């Protein structure tokens, strides 16, 4: 007899604090990633974006893990989806 495994979807974990955004709607993480791309160090980013040095170092480690040219890959993928599924986006 074959057993059927049921997967129960997890509910999204609620955030402890809301994400603070600037006047353009960008989060501190997005602003930090952009600064790292421009060559800034975590210490410099901590002063530019009002975050702690510890958080800036964590964001830097996360940024280093990202694949190169992620934005370009995203644009290519999005364009491909538009061609395959026109009108859904």
Q: How confident is the model at residue 39 (pLDDT cuts 50, 70, 90)?
A: very high
What's the pLDDT tens digit per position in 44-75? Answer: 999 999 999 999 999 999 999 887 777 788 88
Q: What is the largest CA-CA distance in the chain?
A: 63
Q: Report pLDDT for 22.
A: 85
Q: Does residue 4 surpass a pLDDT of 80?
A: no
* Domains in the chain with CATH codes: 28-84 (1.10.10)
Q: For residue 75, give both structure tokens.
A: 């644009």
Classified as helix, coil or strand, 27 is: strand
**28-37 and 53-65 helices, crossing angle to 10°:** 60
What does the pLDDT average to over 71-83?
A: 85
Q: Are 36 and 45 in contact (CB under 8 A)?
A: yes
Q: In the structure, what pLDDT confidence band is assigned to residue 42 with cuts at 50, 70 and 90?
A: very high
The single-letter DSSP state of residue 61 is H
44-72 b/e with 16+ CB inside 10 Å = b?
ebbeebebeeebbeebbeebeeeeeeeee
Percent of the chain with pLDDT over 70: 89
If one compares 30 and 86, the residue with the highest pLDDT of the two is 30
Phi-psi sector, 87: left (phi>0), alpha (psi -120 to 50), beta: left
- As a whole number, mean pLDDT of residues 11-20 equals 79
């Amino acid at each position: 007899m074959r057993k059927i495994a049921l997967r129960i979807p997890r509910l999204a974990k609620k955030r402890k604090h809301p994400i603070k955004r600037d006047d353009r709607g960008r989060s501190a993480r997005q602003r930090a990633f952009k600064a790292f791309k421009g060559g800034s160090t975590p210490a410099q980013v901590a002063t530019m974006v009002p975050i702690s040095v510890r958080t800036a170092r964590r964001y830097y480690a996360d940024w280093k893990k990202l694949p190169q040219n992620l934005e370009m890959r995203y644009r290519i993928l999005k364009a491909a989806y538009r061609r395959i599924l026109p009108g859904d986006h």
